[in-house]
Amino acid sequence: MDLHKYLLRIGFGGPAEPSLDVLRSLHTCHLLSVPFEDLTVHSGGRVQLELPLLYDKIVNRRRGGFCFENNGLFSWLLSTLGFQVTLLSGQVKNFITGCYGPPFDHLILMVTLEGRRWLCDVGFGPPGFSTPLSLETSGPQEQGHRVYRIRKDRDMHFLEWQQEENRGADGDWKEIYKFTLDPRCLEEYTEMCQYHQSSPWSIFFCKSFCTVLKPGGRITYIGHRLITTTFPCEGTGRELKTTTRELKDEEIPVILAEKFGIVLNSQLIPKDEAITPPPVVY
């Protein structure tokens, strides 16, 4: 790994010692620079979970990836900088069925720093968090227009969130994913990585998409749509706003280059199909 080149890729400047401030900055910089995307799946390629390949894709070719790629490579960066990193297995709650995916459905990270544990995730789209969340509390953790909490039930942890308008209300926390703190290794996610590239039960197979966090909002490409989201701003009265623009086939490569900095080596086949609900309840 060319550490300097990786830090330039995510726009991080300054000393990179293992501290909480640096961890927070690295996490946010990564989300603002590296898209969460599955375009390889829809342009004739296959994702392989080998760190040198992930580095070449994300840093040298300035692409993004899904959780196994973005968090897998981010863990390598953090470890190289001296952080104590543990890979964790997450199970995402299906928004169609309300059921959780199988183990290794999602790759997330735990960083232990000065005896305190932090949840990191640069491989999840909305409603993901922008800075690490503390694993030492079950109380609310506010980030911009959203509030998160990590609820513990025996050995299982549940990441949940609230919209700004629902803050303080009881019973309206929405579950995002669940996870244990058991240490994992990257090779254990290989089967689920292949599953997400080939299963009609997976969003990554059913939809070509690319999304990246921006200061004050988010830009998302799906199929033939470009969606721009502006976050609420406290004190200005500005509310959450979403606009959608329909795209023609020939516009998509231009949008990917201009909005996300992505130039594909092979032709993208836009896709936006309904996700088939999985038959298995986990």
| Model pLDDT for residues 137-176, shown as the tens digit of each residue | 999 999 988 999 999 999 999 999 996 555 555 658 999 9
On whether residue 82 sits in a domain, the answer given is: yes
SS3 121: coil
pLDDT digits (tens, 9 = 90+) for 24-63: 999 999 999 999 999 999 999 999 999 999 999 999 999 9
Residue 168: its pLDDT value, please? Answer: 58
The reported pTM is 0.94
On whether residue 62 sits in a domain, the answer given is: yes
State how far the Cα of 255 lies from the Cα of 274, in Å rounded to an integer: 23
On whether residue 17 sits in a domain, the answer given is: yes
Dihedral angle over CA of 173, 178, 180, 184, nearest 10? -140
On whether residue 247 sits in a domain, the answer given is: no
On whether residue 269 sits in a domain, the answer given is: no
Q: What is the CATH classification number for the domain harbouring 162?
A: 3.30.2140.20
Number of helical (H) and strand (E) elements in the chain, helices listed first: 7, 13
On whether residue 109 sits in a domain, the answer given is: yes
Looking at residues 217-239, what average pLDDT do you find?
Answer: 86
Q: What percent of the chain is predicted at pLDDT more than 90?
A: 85
Q: Alpha helices, DSSP H only, in 17-82?
A: 20-33, 51-55, 67-80
On whether residue 267 sits in a domain, the answer given is: no
Looking at residues 207-224, what average pLDDT do you find?
Answer: 97
Residue 208: its pLDDT value, please? Answer: 98
Mind telling me the catalytic residues? Answer: 67, 106, 121
User: How would residue 282 be classed by pLDDT, with cut points 50, 70 and 90?
Assistant: very low
Say how many domains are in the chain: 1
Residue 280: its pLDDT value, please? Answer: 56
- Give exposure, 213-222, as e/b (b: 16+ Cβ within 10 Å): beeeebbbbb
On whether residue 203 sits in a domain, the answer given is: no
- For 185, the domain range is 11-192
Q: What percent of the chain is predicted at pLDDT more than 70?
A: 93
The residues that bridge with 233 in the sheet, in sequence order, are 238
The mean pLDDT value of the chain amounts to 93
pLDDT digits (tens, 9 = 90+) for 63-101: 999 999 999 999 999 999 999 999 999 999 988 778 899
Residue 164: its pLDDT value, please? Answer: 59
At residue 150, what are phi and psi to the nearest 5 degrees? Answer: -115, 105
